[in-house]
Amino acid sequence: MKFASILSAAVVGWASIAAAAPTIVSQGPAVQTSTEQFVLHSQQVNRDFLVEVTGPWVPPLPGQKAPVIYALDGGYFVEGQSVRLLAAAGAMAPAFVVSVGYVMNSKDGARYRNTDLMHVAAMQGEKMDGGGGAKFEAFLMDELRPFIDARYPTDPQQAILVGHSLGGLFAANVLAHRPDAFRAYLIASPSVWAAPDLAVRLRAAAPAGGGRRVFVGVGGLERQAMTEGAANVAAALSGPGSKFAVRRQVYEGQGHLSSYLMLAATALPFLLPPEPAQPPKMRSAISLDPAVLDRYVGVYRLDEKRTVTITRQEGQLFGQMTGLPPVQMFPETPTSFFATVADAQARFIVGTDGRAHSLVLRLNGSEASAILAK
């Protein structure tokens, strides 16, 4: 075949590839993983709020509770998934994330943000703004938190408040007059200009810190008023007699918004550190007859929403909790099995007929029982 013919065939082939297009099977709004969305009407504020709740990668076992992070400004739509990844990587303790924002398509939209996040009215541009912080705080403390604690296995004693910009100011104001409201605070790029007496009030609250952790962050490229404001907040909370554990960080080369993306990876492991790692127990697998493994196959119910499914494939046992991928389970004894890709063990409780009727699941140091459902 001549070179011209080869080139012509190649051009035709490339053209057909370029003309090909994928077929849309379905289309719709994206849904964040393991996230539920609510539109809640606040009696305190008499307005609606958009609340998204993102659960940890591995939800708490029955009877267990997890910390909860309340992120203002809707967590900029990244807080929930950031926490899931950090916890899954072992960088921080697993936690629920409650992102508090606004119904953008409603008549209210986000135009009330300034009102809600500023406790005291202040001039912003040519108009007076703010003054609704007390009502928004009442919604957060008296309506939203009880609602979340009633629906999810969250630990109210391990609640954290995350605020940025005006949200950072709001978090600092809550800390100033009610330091025990949350277990820890993330105050990012706080708009201190709207509260000239903030540093004085924070300094007065510092002796009541009770060992709570506070992280203050700001972008190095932010305007001087913001960087100085963050420095003053950190200094007021960490002066003589303070009972807070304060960490301050300037994100060099980052601006007002880009610094927010750096916060989760640096602030949350400080505010919510992971449990100390336990030395891994050396386990050895034994051989079992496949007929023995068949006695454990079935679906075991952990709670109303979750099961542990045990299957046998080619002489190997696999376990899968609802919402998680299956993992191979290796026999350590005739009734006890362990995983190598996760800190997970299962012990089967066998009846007089030789079949398992329940199991005890141990996951990341927590235990729960599951009853054979089918």
CB 357 within 8 A of CB 348: no
pLDDT for res 323: 83
Indicate whether 364 pLDDT > 90.
no
Indicate whether 60 pLDDT > 70.
yes
pLDDT for res 15: 56
Binned at pLDDT 50, 70 and 90, residue 30 comes out as: confident
Q: In terms of Cα–Cα distance, which of 358, 353, 271, 298 is closest to 95?
A: 271
Question: Residue 276 in 3-state DSSP?
Answer: coil
Indicate whether 21 pLDDT > 60.
yes
Sign of the CA dihedral running 295, 297, 302, 308: positive
CB 118 within 8 A of CB 132: yes
pLDDT for res 361: 95
In this predicted model, what pLDDT tens digit does every residue of 99-152 receive, in sequence order?
999 987 655 556 799 999 999 987 676 777 788 999 999 999 999 999 999 999
Least confident of 2-16, 109-123, 216-230: 2-16
In this predicted model, what pLDDT tens digit does every residue of 191-202 receive, in sequence order?
999 999 999 999
Binned at pLDDT 50, 70 and 90, residue 276 comes out as: confident
Indicate whether 161 pLDDT > 60.
yes
DSSP sequence for 81-144: HHHHHHHHTTSS---EEEEEE--TTSSSTTTTHHHHH-SS-EEETTEEE---HHHHHHIIIIII
Which residues, including other chains, have CB under 8 Å from residue 213's CB and lie 6 or more apart? Answer: 183, 184, 185, 244, 245, 246, 247, 270, 271
pLDDT for res 130: 80
How high is the mean pLDDT of the chain?
Answer: 91
Domains, the chain: 35-271 (3.40.50.1820), 290-372 (2.40.128.50)
In this predicted model, what pLDDT tens digit does every residue of 327-345 receive, in sequence order?
999 999 999 999 998 889 9
pLDDT for res 314: 87
Binned at pLDDT 50, 70 and 90, residue 14 comes out as: low
Q: What percent of the chain has pLDDT over 90?
A: 72
Give the number of other Cβ atoms within 10 Å of residue 200's Cβ: 12
Q: What gap in Å lies between CA 74 and CA 104, rounded to an integer?
A: 11
pLDDT for res 94: 95
